[in-house]
Amino acid sequence: MKHAILTAALAAGVAMPVAAGATDLEVTHWWTSGGEAAAVKVLADNFNETGNNWVDSAIAGSGSTANPIIISRILGGNPMGATQMNTGRDAEELIKAGLMLDLTDLAEKENWREKIRPAKLLEACEYDGRIYCVPINIHSWQWMWLNRHVFEDNGIPVPTNWQELVDAAPALQEAGVIPLATGQPWQVDGIRNVMQVAIGGVDNYLAVNGDKDPDAVMSDENRAIWEAFAQARDMVDDAYSGRDWNVATNMVIQGDAAAQIMGDWAQGEFAQAGQEAGVDYDCLPGLGNNPVLDTGGDAFYFPKTNDEEITAAQLELASMLVSPETQVEFNLVKGSLPVRGDVDLEAANACMKKGLEILANPDNVLPSTEQLLDSDTQGQITDLALEFFSSDMTVDEALEQQQSIIEQAM
């Protein structure tokens, strides 16, 4: 086990224990891309400065791979000291079973309810009025990333919205540049999800997914979403299927592709490559059409232990994660937004500032599709999106199938 931990730590480039008398705290997460590993190192370094030792235990793959491993270890009596999970209800069954540390006293002492925003991030950590996790960032899917040099070098205006990228696609393809990079099925499905708001508008997004209105599915606004999705399938390369998200991001960074629709975590890869927002790359929230954000993110949970030293180290880590210094430093590297509105953002780059301006108006914060549709309906919509993207299915056929799915949605 120690060898496995050492190997994971070295792979992630994270500092190993050095302080004498410090408490070792194993931390599991699934942040393994270049930008993500750099962000983990920020957390590890800051935690080690408290006199404790961050023992890194990275799990390759996404949350869908890591979550079952994390939960199995806790249920099996081999818990880690702390673990990343998505903001939401991933740990609810573990909380109900009394296996997670109650952070309420610390949260009240440090006034988390006043400092963490949007409030629903901390509410997602609550069960029966008690707080069991620390939200560490705000993530949103609603971004398109552009390599400015690709356009400037080929005499093409840098797009400010989706349609301008579509209009530039023929010239990009003639210049040997892939207009749009994508990859694995979840990335393809993410493109359509972003278009739900960016192309169709907020009202249609809420009518289709919130109200489950079949007439809204057949509206002009919803038709425009599928028409834009059809444009996207004509803008990707033949080898896109199965490509990792960070590989697709690197295609944009290297200039092999012009753009990518991806969550704000892509920004960590641009930062890791030494690129500057507004100079080397641009970011367009809401595809430049509707700058709103759906907000999710990451949170840390702490399995309960009878070891007082471990508990003390867990509370120190929880406090550090939400501290102003860590919030700024971590999120700048990770490519996400701070959960606190009272931090010094002088160091924020152009993209982070765009995101913070959007968040300043609560009307710009949308519920995610995970909050509006049950998992079965989401799965059916995802299957439809993937079939559409990989075939010559017409927009009319897609609309009819989506209407049937929404009519049966709960």
CA distance 380 to 405: 7
Strand partners, 100: 303
Q: Cα(63)–Cα(45) distance, rounded to whole angstroms? A: 24
Number of H helices, E strands in the chain: 21, 13
Q: Looking at this protein, which amino acid is placed at residue 65? A: T
- Would you give the distance in Å from CA 355 to the centre of its chain? 13
Cα distances (angstroms) measured from residue 336 to each of 6, 39, 172, 317, 333? 28, 10, 29, 20, 8
Whole-number pLDDT of residue 275: 95
Position 13 scores a pLDDT of 40
Give the ranges where 293-349 is alpha helix by DSSP (H).
308-321, 324-334
* Token pair listed for 264: 């704000």
**Residue found under tokens 């971590």:** 330
Rounded Cα–Cα distance for residues 115 and 109 (Å): 12
Would you state the structure tokens that stand for residue 38, as one six-digit string?
Answer: 């750099």
Q: Which residue type sits at 372?
A: L
| pLDDT tens-digit series, residues 210-263 | 999 999 999 999 999 999 999 999 999 999 999 999 999 999 999 999 999 999
Question: Structure tokens of 55?
Answer: 């023992």
- Is the C-alpha dihedral spanning 245, 250, 253, 259 positive or negative? negative
Question: Which residues face 56 on adjacent strands?
Answer: 27
Handedness of CA 290, 332, 371, 128 (dihedral sign): negative
Q: How far apart are CA 102 and CA 91, in angstroms?
A: 13
pLDDT given for residue 9 in this prediction = 40
Q: Where would I find the H helices in 110-233? A: 112-115, 119-123, 148-153, 162-174, 185-198, 202-209, 214-217, 220-233
SS3 assignment, position 259: strand
CA gyration radius for the chain? 22
The residue type of 192 is: R
Smallest CA-to-CA distance from 113 within 105, 104, 122 is with: 122
DSSP 24-40: EEEEEE---SHHHHHHH
Task: Provide the sign of the torsion angle of the four alpha carbons 361, 366, 371, 372, taken in this order.
Answer: positive
Distance of alpha carbon 319 from alpha carbon 110, whole angstroms: 8
Determine the CATH number of domain 143-294+367-409: 3.40.190.10
Q: Measuring CA to CA, which residue among 32, 8, 46 is closest to residue 317?
A: 46
Range(s) for CATH 3.40.190.10 in the chain? 24-139+295-341, 143-294+367-409
The dihedrals phi and psi of 213, each to the nearest 5 degrees, come to -90, 110
Listed residue (201, 226, 196, 189) closest to 399, CA to CA: 226
Whether the Cβ atoms of residue 408 and residue 212 lie closer than 8 Å to each other:
no
Alpha carbons within 13 angstroms on the beta-carbon side of residue 322 total 29
β-partners of residue 24 are: 53
Rounded Cα distance between 275 and 277, Å, is 7
> Which parts of the chain have pLDDT scores under 70?
1-21, 88-89, 410
Fold adopted by 24-139+295-341: D-Maltodextrin-Binding Protein; domain 2 (3.40.190)
pLDDT of residue 368: 77
